[in-house]
Structures are given as structure tokens and as C-alpha cells.
A = this chain, B = another copy of it.
């Protein structure tokens, strides 16, 4: 019998196109069988790998980035799977299908089709391992939220408030261990066959990523993390590589996946920097579709100038430093952990909603993007940050308000504009970061006295849009330092009360604006004579 590929339905632009092949189920097909395919359109060729999905099923997935006729031809070390070919026609994208998110304009993001993407993320590390009832509640909460990204793990999580066992595991279970949190991240008696994947585990993950796509949410997928009782954080280098290739082969044709090589890579004490660099190379090579790729830190930030990393995915509470990281790495800056709104004892999980919103705004006016999380304790230990569920904090509505402002703002996104009251310049313009540092003359080892400390941080697009955030400052008067011979509307924004009030029209350079002093206000100067 000659094998043939079974396609998953009519192909459309930016939708996962899947072929199923039937092959051997004996031995260990995960390790023994090599399968790949070349997808071609005219002179263009895209190489993808295939994977074993259990029960004799082999799959090839492809994410078409151009309409029209494509052909494919498989290759395999198993004759049965080798040399299979076919053609298919890719139709127009369905509504809301925009392709993967890419870095754009150095410090921002866009979907592959050019549509603007506003990076307003949240965090629920293992929401996808909580059973259907809670998982569906999480999806409903997300659908109703401002969030366009969720940080989530492939592996289950072991930590305080994280004692629930998943129903299945990514690898074949050999021996059950202990589920209790004992304040340690040692392996607690569990044993797995790391050479044998559990396809059902990955199929469930894929279903949830697909569910996220349907509500416009990107999955910032954490591939490794230290919070482990099963041994997944302590596999050999070969096992790590093998797992990474399998995961990427399965998921690279999903439009809404980002690769986060690790959460808190520096707390995975088994791995060296060489290991991380090797894993980054494998991820970049294995992904035919070029998804976003970064590494998230605990204390010590990764060197985001690594050429294969697409963006900065940093953990830091001082979100006003976005400007510094932008200048240092020349990539988009995503502040992916800035502490969570909540009331638990852990310091990273108990800032007020007001403080979290404050950190979002500081990130915004310094050209970065902050990420949300929520850690209010409840008796079932269903904390959003780990398990999803519902959101009860005060920050979400304010983050939605910020998102509406961003979406009504310049399509290019907001870039920091250094304003000292005496002069106003773009970073990279008349005064670069090194000059600025020199001007501010910090002590060795001390942070620069950045504009947000000494003055009001402003971001926008020159000659068009200036958004200044006053934070803990409460000026009752400011002087508009817009360019000469231009006119602006002045809108006072209360970031907490969520109000926007036009306080003046036809504002010109040097004009004084007076308003009611209060903390956590912002001022938008929007060009009105254009």
C-alpha cells in the first residue's frame, strides 16, 4: 500500500495546515523515525519537520504565509513515510487571522500581515493543567480582559499553592512521587521515561493554545522552568534537546506561539550559559516560521543582544528602566514580571493594584510593555498567576483603560522622548543614551538619574503625540514643550479614575497648562492642526 497524506481541511493564510501520515507504531517512533517535508511555492521552499503523535499517526504542520498553490514532498528514514507529495491551495486569511507577531520598528510588535499588535500580557503559568472547568473559566476571563498575551508553561509547576497533580504528563510516567510543597525544588520521588513523549499531553496544550488564538491571545510559551518536583528541570542535555525539538516541531505552525526559553533561567542551577545558547540555537533552527524567541530571568538578566533573541523578556520591578534596556539591546522590551497584584507573603506577589498600574504606566512612557499577574490568596489556592480562574484585582480595568489609550494613539507605538523642561529630544536623536548618562553623571554602579526620576517621562511620536506620565508627582501646572508653530489638544488623564478630560485646545509651545493637582495623572498633547 502506498501511503498518502491526509490534510486537515481547506488551507487559508495564517492558519495551521496539517497533514497526517500513517506509519509504524512499534519500537520507539519518537526516537527512531525521522520525518520532514519541503513546502514549495514557485522558487520558495520551506523545510519543516514532522512528529509522531502516537497510535501510528505522523504529522506535518505548516503555516502558510502566502496565498495560492503550494506543493509538498516528504522525506523520511522510513520508506513508508518518504517521498509522499501533494499540492494544496491557500485561500485568503479568515477574519482575525494575522499571522505570528514579529518585532517591528526596533522596539515594537506587529502581526506578520502588518496589523498592529499591542503587547499587554498576563501570567497564568499552568492554567492549561487545571481540568476543563477551570480552564474554560480562564478562557472566558481572558476573552473579557484587555490581555493579548499570556505567559504559560509547557511543564507543570511545583511551588507553594501548586500541589495539584496534572492528569497526564509530557513524558511516560514510570513511578509516582510526592505532590506536597515542602519548600524545596528537589525531585520528590517521581520517575519518567524522558525518551517517550505522551502525545495526549501535547494535544491538550495545543487545544488550549488554539483556544487562545480564537480570542486573540498570544501564548508566550515557557519551555523550561525551575519550579519542578518531577525531574523535568533536571533532564540531560540530550533529553532537553530532544524535548525542545519535539515541542517546536509540534507547535511552530501555530500562529500565536512565542518561545520563552525559560522562566527564571538563572534559577535552573543545572544549566550553564552554554546550555542556554545551545538551546537557543536549536529553537531558532527548528522553527521554520520564525516565532518570537526570548529568555526570561530571575535576578541576572540574560544578554538580550544575543542575535537570535527577538526581544527583551525581562523580570524587573523598575519598569521606568525600559528606556535603558531599549537603548542597550535595540529590541522591543517586555517587562514580563514586575510583581503581581495580590496579598500573599511572597514579595513578588503582593503589590497593590495601584502600584501595578503605576508600573504599567512607567513602562509605557519609557517605551516598554509591562505584563500583569494576580496573586490574591483564596482557600482553594486558585491563584490566577498559576492556575487562572477569575480576576478580582483593581488593576485589570485600569490596564484596559491604558490599552484603549494606546490603541487610539500612533500606529507606530510610543517611543520615549526625553524632556527636561529646557529641551526636548528623541533618544537616538541629538543626545544619545551615552550622552544622557554622562549628563546625569551617576556614580559607578549606580543607576542613571533617568528622566522619570528627575522630570516627567514622555513617550509618543514627535510632531504628533506626546504622552507624559506624572506618577507620584502631582503638578498643578506644566509648560507645553511641543515644537514651535504646532498646535495641540491637551488631555488630562487620571490613570486610576480612568478619566480623560480635554483641558485646553490649540496649545502652543511654552503655553502654561493649569489643572487640578493629583498623583497618578498623565497629560496627552495630541496634534490638532495637522
Q: Are B454 and A347 neighbours in the complex by a CB distance under 8 Å? A: yes
Q: Are B474 and A351 neighbours in the complex by a CB distance under 8 Å? A: yes
A343-B476, A344-B475, A477-B344 known; A299-B354 Cβ under 8 A: no
Q: Are A445 and B453 neighbours in the complex by a CB distance under 8 Å? A: no
Residues of B within 8 A of A345 (CB): 475-479, 512
Q: Does A151 contact B (CB under 8 A)?
A: no
Residues of B within 8 A of A301 (CB): 441, 443
Q: How far is the CA of A347 from the CA of B475 in the complex (A)?
A: 7
Q: How far is the CA of A316 from the CA of B348 in the complex (A)?
A: 25
Q: Which residues A317-370 have CB closer than 8 A to chain B?
A: 317-318, 321, 324, 328, 339, 342-348, 350-352, 354-355, 358
Q: How far is the CA of A346 from the CA of B422 in the complex (A)?
A: 11
Q: Which of B300, B328, B347, B478 contacts A455 (CB under 8 A)?
A: B347
Residues of B within 8 A of A358 (CB): 472
Q: Are B446 and A324 neighbours in the complex by a CB distance under 8 Å? A: yes
Q: Does A440 contact B (CB under 8 A)?
A: yes
Closest Cβ of chain B: how far from A500's Cβ, in Å? 21
For the complex formed by this chain, how many copies does it contain in all?
A: 2
Q: Does A439 contact B (CB under 8 A)?
A: yes
Q: How far is the CA of A354 from the CA of B519 in the complex (A)?
A: 9
Residues of B within 8 A of A318 (CB): 447, 453
Q: Which of B441, B442, B448, B476 contacts A350 (CB under 8 A)?
A: B476
Residues of B within 8 A of A324 (CB): 445-446
Closest Cβ of chain B: how far from A434's Cβ, in Å? 10
Closest Cβ of chain B: how far from A41's Cβ, in Å? 43
| A437, A442, A456: most-surrounded residue (chain B CB, <10 A) | A442
Closest Cβ of chain B: how far from A209's Cβ, in Å? 32
Q: Does A473 contact B (CB under 8 A)?
A: yes
Q: How far is the CA of A348 from the CA of B352 in the complex (A)?
A: 25
Closest Cβ of chain B: how far from A430's Cβ, in Å? 19
A348-B454, A447-B446 known; A475-B343 Cβ under 8 A: yes
Residues of B within 8 A of A328 (CB): 443
Q: Does A449 contact B (CB under 8 A)?
A: yes
Since A347-B455, A351-B473 are in contact, a sample of 17 more A-B pairs with Cβ atoms closer than 8 Å, ordered by chain A residue number, is: A300-B442, A316-B449, A316-B453, A317-B453, A321-B446, A328-B443, A343-B475, A345-B478, A346-B421, A350-B517, A351-B519, A352-B474, A352-B519, A355-B519, A377-B477, A437-B445, A445-B447
> What 4 A-B pairs come out closest when comparing CB atoms?
A300-B441, A343-B517, A447-B447, A355-B472
